[in-house]
Amino acid sequence: MSDWYTRVYEMVKKVPHGSVATYGQIAALLSSPRAARTVGTALRHLPEGSDVPWHRVINSTGAISIQNFDHPAEEQVNLLMAEGIVVKRSDLGYAVDLSKYLWRKETIDRERPL
Partner DNA sequence: AAGGTGACTAACA
Partner DNA sequence: ATGTTAGCCACCT
Q: Which residues bind DNA (CB under 7 A)?
A: 2-5, 22-25, 32, 34-46, 54-55, 57, 59-61, 65-67, 69, 71, 76, 92
Give the nearer residue to DNA in terms of CB position, either 55 or 101: 55
CB of 40 to DNA, least distance (A): 3
**Integer Cα distance of 14 and 107 in angstroms:** 9
CB of 99 to DNA, least distance (A): 14
Distance of CA 33 to the CA centre of its chain: 15
CB of 25 to DNA, least distance (A): 7
Element (H, E) at 22: strand 21-22
**Integer Cα distance of 97 and 114 in angstroms:** 30
Give the nearer residue to DNA in terms of CB position, either 29 or 39: 39
Q: Are strands 87-89 and 94-96 parallel, antiparallel or unpaired?
A: antiparallel
CB of 46 to DNA, least distance (A): 5
* Count of other CB atoms within 10 angstroms of residue 63: 17
Give the nearer residue to DNA in terms of CB position, either 5 or 107: 5
Give the nearer residue to DNA in terms of CB position, either 42 or 87: 42
CA distances from 75 to 51, 57, 63 (A): 16, 13, 14
